[in-house]
Structure formats: C-alpha cells, structure tokens
C-alpha cells in the first residue's frame, strides 16, 4: 500500500533534500506488483508519458516532464514515485529471500534498492527541484 502524506509530513520529509539527477527511466520502462499497482512509461507525440494505477485506485496518466516541473502535479508525482520505489523494494525483497547467503543477497539487490531510493527522492522533492538534462 502506498502511504499518503499530509502537507506537514511532506514538508518535514522535504527538509534538506538536495537537487539530484532524475532517476533512470526509458520510454519502455514498466513494472507491476500484486497488491501495490503498476506503471508504464511510453513515448508519444508530446514526449514521455507515464500511466500508473495503485492497487486501490483508478488509472492515471501524465507527461513525465510535467510531473517533474508542475507544482499542481506534486501529489501525482508523490504517488507515482512511491509506487515505483515500492515495486522495486518488493522485487528486491523477493530476490533476497531466494538467496541463502545474506551478504551475497544484499550485494545482488543493491541496484534495485538504489533505484528505489532515487525514485523515492524524486517523489518527495518540490516541482522543478531535480537536475534536468539539457534536452529535457
């Protein structure tokens, strides 16, 4: 389940967050997890669009650029970023349970956990806070 934050909780979480590069994404990035939801990036005439659905909600869609830059879409960015982070973390947990050596398991899932952290950061920062590439 994706946690919902109040405005005060969100402000506290944002305190001290630094500007970072956008998380890695591609026009064909997608993911899903039972009990959490799904997302899909795709390229269309306006650029990269993301469609997502949390398990208990309705399907939503927005331009990735708008999600990054538009204050009015901060709630959607929060929902999408936490959804992606949660799916990555669940995937990492499922892999870790299949590897008997804890240190090897931790090493193996580091890329997914790093990506989850990056998406969580992207979801929390205010609109326009991320370092964007020149051709964005």
Per-residue pLDDT of the chain (136 residues; tens, 9 = 90+): 566 777 777 777 777 778 889 998 989 999 999 999 999 999 998 899 999 999 878 999 999 999 999 999 999 999 999 999 999 999 999 999 999 998 998 999 999 999 999 999 999 998 888 888 877 8
Q: What is the DSSP letter of 15?
A: T
Per the CB < 8 A criterion, the answer to whether 74 and 7 are in contact is no
What is the reported pLDDT for 46?
Answer: 84
What is the reported pLDDT for 69?
Answer: 95
What is the reported pLDDT for 19?
Answer: 81
Alpha carbon separation from 85 to 12, 50, 135 (Å, rounded): 19, 15, 25
What is the reported pLDDT for 111?
Answer: 95
Per the CB < 8 A criterion, the answer to whether 54 and 2 are in contact is yes
What is the reported pLDDT for 3?
Answer: 67
What is the reported pLDDT for 133?
Answer: 83
- HEC profile of 42-104: EEECCEEEEEEEECCCCCEEEEHHHHHHCHHHHHHHHHHHHHHHHHHHHHHHHHHCCCCCHHH
pTM: 0.86
């Amino acid at each position: 389940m994706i946690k919902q934050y109040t405005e005060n909780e969100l402000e506290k979480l944002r305190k001290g967050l630094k500007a970072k590069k956008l998380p890695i994404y591609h026009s064909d990035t997608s993911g899903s997890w039972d009990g959490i939801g799904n997302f899909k990036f795709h390229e269309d005439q306006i650029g990269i669009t993301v469609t997502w659905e949390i398990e208990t909600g309705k399907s939503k869609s927005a331009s990735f650029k708008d999600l990054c830059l538009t204050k009015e879409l901060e709630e959607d960015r929060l929902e999408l970023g936490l959804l992606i982070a949660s799916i990555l973390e669940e995937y990492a947990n499922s892999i870790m349970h299949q590897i008997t050596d804890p240190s090897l398991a931790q090493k193996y899932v580091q890329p997914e956990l790093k990506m989850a952290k990056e998406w969580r950061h992207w979801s929390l920062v205010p609109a326009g806070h991320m370092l964007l590439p020149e051709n964005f």
